[in-house]
Amino acid sequence: MSTVLSLTDLAVELGPKTARRQVVRGVTLDLVAGQIQGLAGESGSGKTVTAMAVLGLLPGSATVSGSVRMGTTELTTLRKRELNRVRGRRIAMIFQDPSASLHPQLSIGAQLTDHVRHHLGMKRKEARGRAAELLDRVKVPDPESALNRYPHQFSGGQRQRIAIAMALACEPEVLLADEPTTALDVTVQAGILHLLRDLVDERNLAVLLVTHDLGVMSAVADDVAVMRHGRLVESGARRQMFTDPQHPYTRQLLEAMPDAQESEIL
Ligand SMILES: Nc1ncnc2c1ncn2[C@@H]1O[C@H](COP(=O)(O)OP(=O)(O)O)[C@@H](O)[C@H]1O
Ligand SMILES: [Mg+2]
């Protein structure tokens, strides 16, 4: 088990001067190669802010303390340009709305090829071949013709697959996935989760999977951390979390979702 990214005592303060709030505090978590670390908790508990802090994507007024370390690199104190490089090459992110990673007016081929060229330094033709391979890998049908189409010509599920292809283009070590299936209906959701699991195993990716949905969590996460009011109240192996939750809040979440224990799809 090799740790790829470590959060240690991460804290984030946000809001206007007169109403500063600590929205994340004392978060300590390791992302391990080949594993999906789930981050659960109700809406507003600080999950997205945690992921954004890892990427350095919080508003300039945010105060981040503690450590986000990747190997010997401390990310919280990196200069913007260096952080951009880490973000492009070593850490990728997908969002609830795949449109966030896709430009509406550029063909899929233009965006994906550009991305591959930029990150892997390939020539145009080679990059286009690579883009088609990536689309094929995420199971977008007919990749060659998909390259000539635009984001709005795909369904939500296909768009999320394309966003995953974009994320994989730089061959990242870490993937942050923030509610990646929340906007999709259940069957489409299951397909995306299967894909995610396969990619993690195949590429030895370390994944942080943020979701308020314990069904999603129980389907694919190896470990689960439960967040409440900006703190982790419990973390551990998925099975233990679902069968023998220690913290009353975790029990409460599980009770609110009686099918969660049974929904393992893999
Ligand atoms: N840019 C911001 N400025 C001020 N407060 C924010 C900002 N972004 C998020 N928050 C607050 O931080 C808390 C955690 O939000 P978030 O991480 O988005 O929750 P989650 O992803 O768990 O639903 C919430 O109370 C939210 O209102
Ligand atoms: Mg969120």
Per DSSP, helices labelled H in the chain are 47-55, 80-89, 108-120, 124-137, 143-146, 156-168, 186-203, 214-220, 238-243, 248-255
Residue 156 has pLDDT above 80, yes or no: yes
pLDDT band at residue 258 using 50, 70 and 90 as cut-offs: low
pLDDT for 119: 83
Contact between residue 64 and residue 11 where contact means Cβ atoms under 8 Å apart: yes
What is the 188 CA–ligand 2 centroid distance (Å)?
20
pLDDT of residue 263: 53
The alpha carbon of 13 and the centre of ligand 1 are apart by a number of angstroms equal to: 10
Query: Whose CA is closest to atom 14 on ligand 1?
Result: 46
pLDDT at 254 (0 to 100): 87
Amino acid identity of 46?
Answer: G
30-78 pLDDT, tens digit each: 999 999 999 999 999 999 999 999 999 999 999 999 999 999 999 999 9
Of the chain, the percentage scoring pLDDT greater than 90 comes to 82
From atom 24 of ligand 1, which residue's Cα is the shortest distance away? 44
- Pair 146, 112: CB distance under 8 Å: no
pLDDT of residue 261 exceeding 80: no
Long-range contacts of 16-19 (CB under 8 A, 24+ apart): 16/61
Domain range list for the chain: 3-90+178-262, 105-171
Instruction: Name the closest ligand to CA 23.
Output: 1
Residues with CB under 5 A from ligand 2 (ion): 47-48
Q: Whose CA is closest to 196, among 218, 175, 211?
A: 175
- Report the phi/psi class of residue 22: left, alpha or beta, with left for phi > 0 and alpha for psi in -120 to 50: beta
Strand partners, 178: 210
Taking residues 157-175, report their average pLDDT: 96
Q: Which DSSP string do the residues of 167-191 spell out, in sequence order?
A: HHTT--SEEEEESTTTTS-HHHHHH
Ranked by mean pLDDT, the top range of 168-172, 196-200, 244-248 is 196-200
Atom number in ligand 1 closest to CA 50: 17
* pTM (predicted TM-score): 0.94
Minimum CA distance residue for ligand 1 atom 4: 15
What single string gives the DSSP state of each residue in 2-13?
A: -EEEEEEEEEEE
Instruction: Specify the amino acid at residue 249.
Output: Y
Nearest Cα residue to 208 out of 82, 24, 40, 11: 40
- Distance from the alpha carbon of residue 99 to the mean position of ligand 2, in angstroms: 16
Task: Give pLDDT, residue 118.
Answer: 84
More confident call, 120 vs 231: 231
50 touches 27 (CB < 8 A): yes
Q: Which of 13, 14, 176, 253 to mutate to test the pocket of ligand 1 (most atoms within 8 A of CB)?
A: 14
Which residues sit with their C-beta closer than 6 Å to ligand 1? 14-15, 23, 41, 43-49, 59
Taking Cα atoms as reference points, which of 206, 149, 215 lies closest to residue 34?
206
Q: Which ligand is nearest to the CA of 41?
A: 1
Residue nearest to atom 20 of ligand 1 (CA): 44
Mean pLDDT of the chain: 93
Mean pLDDT, to the nearest integer, of 146-167? 97
- Mutation test of ligand 1: which of 10, 18, 49 has the most ligand atoms closer than 8 Å to its C-beta? 49
Q: What is the pLDDT of residues 70-115, one digit of tens each?
A: 999 999 999 989 998 898 789 999 999 999 889 999 999 999 999 8
C-alpha span between 10 and 27 (Å, rounded): 5
When pLDDT is averaged across residues 246-261 and rounded to a whole number, the result is 80
Given a cut of 70, is residue 266 above it in pLDDT? Answer: no
pLDDT of res. 95: 94
Instruction: Please state which of the ranges 18-22, 186-190, 206-210, 259-263 shows the lowest mean pLDDT.
Output: 259-263
Q: What is the CATH number of domain 3-90+178-262?
A: 3.40.50.300
Confidence band (pLDDT; 50, 70, 90) for 256? Answer: confident
Proportion of the chain in helix, strand, coil states, percent, rounded to 5: 45, 25, 30
Q: Residue 211: its pLDDT value, please?
A: 94
Sequence-distant (6+) residues with CB within 8 A of 246 are: 234, 236
- Structure tokens given for 143: 């990749």
Neighbours of 2 (CB within 10 A): 10
- When pLDDT is averaged across residues 4-16 and rounded to a whole number, the result is 97
**Neighbouring-strand partners of residue 174:** 91, 206
Asked if 36 contacts 53 with a C-beta cutoff of 8 angstroms, the reply is no
For the stretch 191-240, pLDDT in tens is 999 999 999 999 999 999 999 999 899 999 999 999 999 999 999 999 99
